[in-house]
Amino acid sequence: MSKHIFVTGGVVSSLGKGLTSASIACLLEKRGLRVRMQKLDPYINVDPGTMNPYEHGEVYVLDDGSETDLDLGHYERFSNGPLSRKSNYTTGQIYLKVIEKERRGEFLGKTVQVIPHITDEIKAAVRGLAGPDVDVVITELGGTVGDIEGLPFLEAIRQIPLEIGKDHCLFIHLTLVPYLKAAKEMKTKPTQHSVGLLRQIGIQPDVLVVRTERPMGEENAAKIALFCNVEKNAVIEEVDKEFSIYEVPLGLVDHGLDQLIVDKLKLNAGPLDMSDWRDLMHRMRHPEHEVTIAVVGKYIEHRDAYKSIYESLDHAGVANSARVIIKRIEAEELEQQGPEMLLKGVDGLLVPGGFGMRGVEGKVQAVRFAREFEIPYFGICLGMQTAVIEYARNVLSLENADSTEFSSDTPHPVICMLEDQKTIVKKGGTMRLGAHPCVLHPDSKSAEAYGTEQISERHRHRYEFNPEYRSQFEESGMLLAGTSPDGKLVEVVELPDHPWFVAVQFHPEFKSKPLTPHPLFQGFVAAALQRHHERVQMPVSRSETE
């Protein structure tokens, strides 16, 4: 029977609950346990895919096409249990299910209420991940204890131990112990209050993971244990990790969290082996090279909007023994100032995915600069579409070539919606989503990077390369390096005469992990590093003289 861990958060939001949950999964897997992860989000949106990246950061896409919260990206980067639609539920989805049942008459005229109907649906969502091949289900609750919207979720997880037995469940609560400069003291009261709130609901946390800026000391830990009714060895300190998020699991090991969980849940676990993770940290801390990659995007000031891209670049950096310095460039700024100044001295350019026309012309200018000055270029989704638009305009001389997303009456719709997508009018869940197979050209840089011609990658887009223009592109030297297996959809384009110009319709960033960096990111960073070395040997680069 699967055991359950519930991770809640108190005091403030943004404590890194997702990272801590993912790190716990990492540790348990390293002890040979089979783990599944899940996030319950108290917001009402049914479809996280339609949420603004400014408010919520990136939309993370899974193999099965579900559009989820970005914390699931952490889950996949830190652990290996499969994720699916069952791994992320919002209040909206839970209510929708209950309301649909009510419409179908399944409640037989009964009054439909938060307790028991909504809480039953939440429990079903949690229990849905358990199974004979799963040792531990980790359920992270979004939001902060005390939020009104989180109450049905807390009530539901309170009920679960009553049904499956107390020793099958573990409650881990994440809190903050702030340091007050004026008092020169760490303060435990907010933690006491948030645990107090949990206990009012009927949940006694078994473990407290305490986020702090600096070590809090024995005395504070003892105080927290006493006031929060938690054993002293179950007060685990998690000091801010300045260097890298990948330090978090090791920090938790140092405080014995893996053993504590194994003991409390009486898990049949093997010994802990973190050697690959320690090696990763060592390589991260001791890079031999440095490389600067520009990311030209639209939500650049929001740190989380391109989360998986930044992470993937870091992973690829480690694989190349390089520290990747990411230069974030706002596409609209590039549009106004031109690429020369902003892209000066960069070793590689990446244009990520995006929607809507703001900033697109800046991205097109950036692509042109990379193409003409032979700067390694990696286009992802919209970054592929802008590469196609740029090539059409400036190489094929197709004036005003565009995507119909940005110009419905362009004379050259090189990117467009294909016939079978045109009938779709709703916004939510109407994209080409999730994993699709792709076949690579044997003589492409992509096939070389992947080491295979058969790949599968995740998608999230509405528009496609317009097949009517294929021959024009091919005749002038662009390689259509990857297509859907039926050959109909163009998934990868490359410029064989360029040092490294690869643009893909899919999102490789969702499949990169620190220990298994994505091959295209690796290839891209390797090419950028090569350019960097050439630049260092020839201090004045071509781009700076022309």
Catalytic residue among 4, 302, 315, 507: 507
Reported as type and span, the H/E element at residue 258 is: helix 257-264
Respond yes or no: is residue 56 known to be catalytic.
no
Nearest to 25 by CA among 261, 265, 263: 261
CB 134 within 8 A of CB 168: no
Residue 459 Cβ vs ligand GLN, minimum distance, rounded to whole Å: 8
Residue 306 Cβ vs ligand GLN, minimum distance, rounded to whole Å: 11
User: Which is closer to ligand GLN, CB of 138 or CB of 381?
Assistant: 381
User: Which is closer to ligand GLN, CB of 292 or CB of 385?
Assistant: 385
The torsion angles phi and psi of 45, rounded to 5 degrees, stand at: -50, 135
Catalytic residue among 381, 405, 436, 464: 381
User: Which is closer to ligand GLN, CB of 463 or CB of 524?
Assistant: 463
Reduce the secondary structure of 206-228 to three states and give it as a string. CEEEEEECCCCHHHHHHHHHHHH
Respond yes or no: is residue 315 known to be catalytic.
no
Catalytic residue among 330, 405, 464, 509: 509
User: Which is closer to ligand GLN, CB of 122 or CB of 309?
Assistant: 309
Residues that bind ligand GLN (CB under 6 A): 353-355, 381-382, 385, 405, 460-463
Length of the chain: 546
Query: Residue 221 corresponds to which amino acid?
Result: A
Query: Residue 188 corresponds to which amino acid?
Result: T
CB 55 within 8 A of CB 291: no
User: Which is closer to ligand GLN, CB of 353 or CB of 519?
Assistant: 353
Residue 225 Cβ vs ligand GLN, minimum distance, rounded to whole Å: 47
- Nearby residues of 100 by Cβ (< 8 Å), 6 or more positions away: none
Residue 495 Cβ vs ligand GLN, minimum distance, rounded to whole Å: 20
Rg (CA), the chain: 25
Residue 86 Cβ vs ligand GLN, minimum distance, rounded to whole Å: 24
User: Which is closer to ligand GLN, CB of 191 or CB of 365?
Assistant: 365
Give the residue nearest to ligand GLN (CB): 353
Nearest to 514 by CA among 210, 193, 166, 280: 280
Nearest to 457 by CA among 382, 366, 381: 381
Respond yes or no: is residue 507 known to be catalytic.
yes
Nearest to 3 by CA among 173, 171, 236, 159: 171
User: Which is closer to ligand GLN, CB of 280 or CB of 401?
Assistant: 401
Residue in the block written with tokens 């699967």: 2
| Gap between the Cα atoms of 83 and 62, Å rounded | 7
| Gap between the Cα atoms of 266 and 227, Å rounded | 26
DSSP at 142: P
Q: Is the peptide bond before 215 cis (omega within 30 degrees of 0)?
A: no
Residue 406 Cβ vs ligand GLN, minimum distance, rounded to whole Å: 9
Give the three-state DSSP class for 38. strand
Residue 356 Cβ vs ligand GLN, minimum distance, rounded to whole Å: 7
The residues annotated as belonging to the active site are 381, 507, 509
